[in-house]
Amino acid sequence: RSDSSINKNEFIPMEAKSIQESGDFLIKPESKVARLDTSQWPLLLKNFDKLNIRTAHYTPLPHGSNPLKRNIHDYVRTGFINLDKPANPSSHEVVAWIKRILRVEKTGHSGTLDPKVTGCLIVCVERATRLVKSQQSAGKEYVGIVRLHNALENEHQLARALECLTGALFQRPPLIAAVKRQLRVRTIYESKLIEYDAERRLGIFWVSCEAGTYIRTLCVHLGLLLGVGGQMQELRRVRSGVMGEKDNLVTMHDVLDAQWQFDHNKDETYLRRVIYPLEKLLVSHKRIVMKDSAVNAICYGAKIMLPGVLRYEDGIEVNQDIVVITTKGEAICTAVALMTTAVISTCDHGVVAKIKRVIMERDTYPRKWGLGPKASQKKMMIQKGLLDKHGKPNGSTPADWKEGYHLAFRCIWDFHNIYKAEIVGTMVNRGMFLFARNISQVIRCTYSLCNWCEHTINSFPAIDELSDLSVFTAFRVFTVIHSGALLHIF
């Protein structure tokens, strides 16, 4: 048969043919949108899709890397070990051995354990030592054995005594402690009796407590409360901060073997299994994601400004410790929040958080500040000698540049003089002393605000009309100025 005589429908099954002829085939609009499942993403990127989106527009930079995919040199030097400390050596000895095994310059630990105590000891390596202070103040959990000097009628007495010794307690460090024996207050969050051996008068208990709590002193207090006397027989730390016994706890032999495998067989698998990225210690913190172009500025100490924020988490409160991360999940710094989640959602400028500790190495990402039109003009004027080396006006500075500089200075100076007494007096009475406490702070703000005021000065009311402004408005203006929310990048 010729090709023209072939019926193309002969090759289509009858059922499919009837469906295709009767069906209405088109892509219909739907309200359902396919969601990205990030519940299994690692470390600080977990549940990334549940973060609030401030903006999705930014330029990705080919710098940095996922914490789990760093090269082995950087991986070791930005990681920590959840070590099962052996009995007898001190914590400082163990940390010194780890330093020698890994051949690194710096190591630190998350809280001293007595020589006879075993269990979780977080050993931070190189860059991760910047998190040591935060880990030392994290909560701890212990399992201990208390020996009573005399027998009890029943084990319920010991259980009730443990329940009584919860909450804020006075403690004095034991005689063998290496600190000054001053009376201090420590909090016991929870405790429970696991087992009691009446014949040997031994009780096994679990306790969750504040950092710096002396379990040895707690055992002495248990004996005093029961009226029979007691002392600590044995102790093991089962949790330190976010890391517990079941979170990849390794021994000294594991660390030694992993380093040997890398040195002799170039096998880095075991080192990556023994060492965790430092980001693992920050998974309990609220997160703020920054644009790649803002990362290096923060590493150099710049303020965490709202225009650089990509995403932020629910439940952020003022003065809460948070972690600032990149789009690849790297920790940039720890910070103290200055805005709540609600404020971040409604504002378009301002300082989001105050840096507490910078973690990332400088110049991991390229510099992206000082590239704007004003900054470029200023650099060119410095090269031509129209401004001094600090960017301040000199004898050769053009009149229009000087005019904008002095105009902003006069405006803020007059504004401050008019409202100084009224604002400060009102805020002191309310117990809210103004951020701009004196004239010198306003003068320091002037230099960074001069170019901004140049094109917004017309929006301010005239000086003689400032008396009509409310104290609340003046307070907001000075707060924004002092916080650096209107800071111009030079």
Residues marked active site are found at: 114
Query: Residues 323, 325, 331, CA angle at the centre, nearest 5°?
Result: 75
CA separation for the pair 479, 434 (Å, rounded): 8
φ, ψ of residue 440 to 5 degrees: the values are -60, -35
SS3 for 415?
A: helix
Q: Compute the half-sphere exposure of residue 33: CA atoms within 13 Å on the CB side of its CA.
A: 3
Number of CB atoms found within 10 A of residue 69's CB: 10
CA distances from 110 to 42, 82, 95, 125 (A): 23, 10, 11, 11
Which one, of 296, 288, 334, lies nearest residue 312 by Cα? 288
Q: How many CB atoms neighbour CB 371 within 10 A?
A: 11
Listed in sequence order, the DSSP H helices in 124-248 are 132-136, 155-164, 215-226
Question: What is the b/e burial string over 308-331, where b = at least 16 CB atoms within 10 angstroms of the residue's CB?
Answer: bbbbbbeebeeeebbbbbbbbbbb
Q: How far apart are CA 344 and CA 293, in angstroms?
A: 20
CB distance 194 to 144 below 8 Å: no
Strand partners, 355: 335
Report how far residue 206's alpha carbon sits from residue 171's, in angstroms, rounded to the nearest whole number: 18
What token pair was written down for 183? 């009376």
Q: Angle CA(338)–CA(360)–CA(77) in degrees, nearest 5?
A: 140
- Please tell me the distance from the alpha carbon of residue 291 to that of residue 294, in angstroms, as a whole number: 5
> CA angle, 99 as apex, 95 and 103 as ends, to 5°?
170
Virtual torsion, Cα 194, 197, 198, 204, nearest 10 deg? -40
Check if the beta carbon of residue 277 is closer than 8 Å to that of residue 330. Answer: no
Longest Cα separation, the chain: 109
DSSP state for residue 69 in the 8-state scheme: G
| Residue 44: DSSP 8-state | G
